[in-house]
Amino acid sequence: MDDELLITSGPALSHPDAESFRHVLGHYPTGVAVITAQTGSGPVGLSMNSFTSLSLQPPLVLFCPAQSSTTWPQLREVGAIAINVLSAGQEDVSRQFAGKAGERFEGIAWSAGENGAPLLGDALGWIECAVQAEYPAGDHTVVIAEIQRMGVHAHIGDPLVFFRGAYYAGIAAAVSATD
């Protein structure tokens, strides 16, 4: 068997009930973003951790709002959105935009981007996009958006990380919390 390692028994796997699904996928660290748009009634936004790059040519990203979201239809209607990648110090911002009620922009510094969507102050990065397509997928919607403009904060380098059901101020904090 040369240099091959023979494994006599594999890892214990279970069927994906809701509890084991959350537990296992909670071990996959993610960044946290807030998706925003400017509507005729004012700014709207929602927190999102199901966000990822999709394509370099054309530049596309993907995110997945819950089908039960009352904010996503407002964002979809505008079509011009911003994805605000949250920095290590923005756990409260994520929680505020994840809430069901209240004014999500209250106390939040922001400026309008070129496409009109709110760009949150002290975010790690900003991506202005146009919604291109969406597809139903279980209890969520897969949204594909094309990047129009983007940038990163000149003085902030650590992301807000969601890992094992908790927020961490940067990757090092998430790693040290599990040691």
pLDDT tens for each residue of 153-165: 988 889 998 988 8
Residue percentage of the chain with pLDDT more than 90: 66
Does 6 have pLDDT greater than 90? no
| 51 occurs within a structural domain | yes
Domain extent, residue 78, equals 30-177
Identify whether the C-beta of residue 123 lies closer than 8 Å to the C-beta of residue 153: yes
| 166 occurs within a structural domain | yes
| 15 occurs within a structural domain | no
| 146 occurs within a structural domain | yes
| 104 occurs within a structural domain | yes
Instruction: Indicate left, alpha or beta for 155 from its phi (over 0: left) and psi (-120 to 50: alpha).
Output: alpha
Task: Verify cis geometry, omega within 30 degrees of 0, for the bond prior to 73.
Answer: no
Does 45 have pLDDT greater than 60? yes
| 98 occurs within a structural domain | yes
| 3 occurs within a structural domain | no
Does 19 have pLDDT greater than 80? yes
Does 125 have pLDDT greater than 90? yes
Identify whether the C-beta of residue 132 lies closer than 8 Å to the C-beta of residue 59: no
Q: What is the CATH number of the domain that holds 168?
A: 2.30.110.10
Instruction: Convert the pLDDT of each residue in 127-147 to its tens digit.
Output: 999 999 999 999 999 999 999
Residue percentage of the chain with pLDDT more than 70: 93
> Looking at residues 110-128, what average pLDDT do you find?
97
Total of domains in the chain: 1
| 53 occurs within a structural domain | yes
